Chain A
Amino acid sequence: MSGSDIFVFVDHSNGTVAKTASELLTLARSLGEPHAIIAGSAGDFELAKSTLSDFGAKSITLLESSEINNHPSSAIARALADLASTKNPRAILLPSTARGKEIAGRLAVRLEAGIITDAIALSSELVATQSVFGGSTVVHSQVTKGCAIVTIRPNSIEAAPAPASADINSIPVSASITAKITAREPAVRGARPELSEANIIVSGGRGTDGNFAPIEELADVLGAAVGASRAATDAGWYPHSHQVGQTGKTVSPQLYIACGISGAIQHRAGMQTSKTIVVVNKDPEAPIFDIADFGVVGDLFAVAPQATAGIKARKG
């Protein structure tokens, strides 16, 4: 390997590679030689390999342990840092997700390397672009000491395949685990796409009054994910994992449809970089209209079902 190596940390669920991995590999190809690193069991690896070489990984390294994913991040960060200190990559890219950021923070400490989180682009000089303060300000920043550790916001890079034949390595890791996961209740995914990966999101807020049926029906006819405001998740109308905003997910879909959401600054912070924003709200003064490309002042219980029917009719 050489000074142009770019490490990509691959997130996966039982071997099914997250969409972020193909985005990060696509980005890494523009910066140097992409090397994919994945943590899990040999079985996970078998499943993940072909996707990773489809997106141009020059090597794929498994940090192998059947236990490793029973700890959210410390064992992975340790193994990844050990690998990085022997290979000296130019940069390490991770997804800007809860888990990606935990690992990135630990790596920065272990490698004494600078860290930039939530970048939406990274130039060949490793200058990162961030969209901050709820999308109102664009910042360019750079790591100035050590290997650059950068977490990239999901859905901000368009993944493009570029098949390559990859070297395959496996490194056994012994995870010394102090904080253990003793039981799991995976989030119920259903047939809808994952929120941070979705191209279209339909979100509901307090205006749904607890009835998400019109939101889900519109989402399903669009093949969209369902999001929610904090008012809706706090009320228990929709699971916390669907919350969009400062303390929920930051999303950047092609299309975001907000129904019965007022547009508090903390909600906007999580969706303002969506390419197109459509709003349905019965209050013409709701601040969410300020960022809408298209807004309907009206009752969501009338407008959303009519839109659902209209889209169905077009599809024939």
Chain B
Amino acid sequence: MKILVCVKQVPDSWAEKKLTPAKVLDRESADAVLNDLDEYAVEEALRIVEANGGAEAGHTITLLSMGPERAQEALRKGLSMGADNALHVKDDALAGSDALTTSRILAEAIKRENPDLILTGTESTDARMSVIPAMLSERLDLPHLSFAGEVHVDVNARTIKSKRMTDEGVEAMESPMPAIVTVIEKINEPRYPSFKGIMAAKKKSISELSLADLGVAPSEVGSSGAWSAVNDFALAPARGAGVKVTDDGNGGGALVEFLAEKRLI
């Protein structure tokens, strides 16, 4: 079984983010890390392999990322967790691509690989659109098991069962393979790369793919090929300094007074 995991490099989710005058995310001012939510997808891939006889049984995990040169660091992180190899789609023309383009590029790369299972995170913590996995499902015409809080793969029957967890409740889902599974952060606890894992990752291969390799014209991607544009942006007005009281035995009473003053009760 061949598993492919889509991972993105993003600014550290703990950092304050801002836009540059060119109206794109300032990626320089914050540390770049593997999208936290994609770590769960990498971890789940490792667990699926472990639950099905391990690497000895011929299962492999390939990471796929579209991003600038340094997205390699995020791929190395995933490799040090235990993935086998990685694909890096890199091309200067891709800067400023929107979700439609990103999903198209990822879909082209996935088609070349022909995996049995594709795993993704629920959302990249920078763009927060949460649409790439559904777009991939549409482009590749593959079933999509979204918001998976639990996944079971039956390699012989080539079926997947998952629990879809949303605010509507929990839904048991079933699908044939190949399929796309999007995992939520409740599914597992991602492992820390071991020293051995980090050393091994240095020797694992990251293959680079250009637009030409994927047969896509540079004019169709990047900000000029985008289907939407940012007109302008501004810092939100800071919330006015609020009132802070220390509970002296009447903190709850003061809270009620405030709500009443604001006509919230």
Contact = CB atoms under 8 A, between A and B. Distances in A.
Nearest to A177: B143
Interface string A45-78: 0000000000000000000000000001110010
Interface stretch (B56-64, B160-168, B205-213): B160-168
B145 A307 contact: no
Given A105-B138, A136-B235, A247-B122, A99 B228 contact: no
Contacts of B253: 306-307, 310
Interface string A246-283: 11010000110000000001100000000011101000
Contacts of B179: 178-179
Contacts of A137: 17-19, 233-236
B255 A105 contact: no
Contacts of B245: 294-297
B13 interface: yes
A297 B137 contact: no
Interface stretch (A30-38, A139-147, A163-171): A139-147
B167 A246 contact: no
Interface stretch (A21-29, A84-92, A108-116, A203-211): A108-116
Interface residues of A, number: 92
Chain B, interface residues (CB within 8 Å), range: 35 or more
Interface string B220-254: 00000011111111111001101111110011111
Contact of A179 (B143, B165, B167, B258): B143
A109 B103 CA distance: 9
Contact of B246 (A116, A117, A276, A284): A284
Contacts of A146: 227
Nearest to A291: B239
Nearest to A250: B128
B110 interface: no
A-side interface mostly: mixed
A106 B137 contact: yes
A191 interface: no
Given A109-B100, A137-B19, A186-B169, A296 B135 contact: no
A127 B99 contact: no
Interface in B9-65: 13-14, 16-19, 37
A284 B184 CA distance: 33
A98 B171 contact: no
Given A137-B18, A284-B246, A178 B251 contact: no
Contact of A144 (B135, B229, B239): B229
A180 interface: yes
Interface string B133-171: 111011100111111010000000000000011111111
A247 B37 contact: yes
B175 interface: yes
B262 interface: yes
Nearest to A230: B185
A63 B196 CA distance: 55
B19 A144 contact: no
A108 B227 contact: yes
B13 A246 contact: yes
Contacts of B145: 179
Given A115-B100, A133-B17, A295 B242 contact: yes
Contacts of B244: 284, 289, 292, 294-297
A289 to B, nearest CB: 6
A247 B98 contact: no
A265 B128 CA distance: 14
Interface in B165-193: 165-176, 179, 184-186
A115 to B, nearest CB: 6
26 contacts: A102-B146, A105-B134, A106-B135, A109-B100, A109-B103, A114-B226, A115-B131, A115-B227, A117-B131, A136-B18, A138-B234, A142-B231, A144-B229, A178-B142, A180-B174, A182-B173, A241-B165, A241-B167, A246-B13, A246-B128, A280-B251, A296-B255, A306-B250, A306-B255, A307-B255, A308-B252
Top 7 nearest A-B pairs (CB, nearest first) are A306-B252, A298-B247, A114-B227, A105-B131, A179-B143, A310-B256, A179-B175
Given A266-B13, A277-B242, A294-B258, 6 more contacts: A112-B100, A136-B17, A240-B184, A265-B14, A278-B255, A284-B246
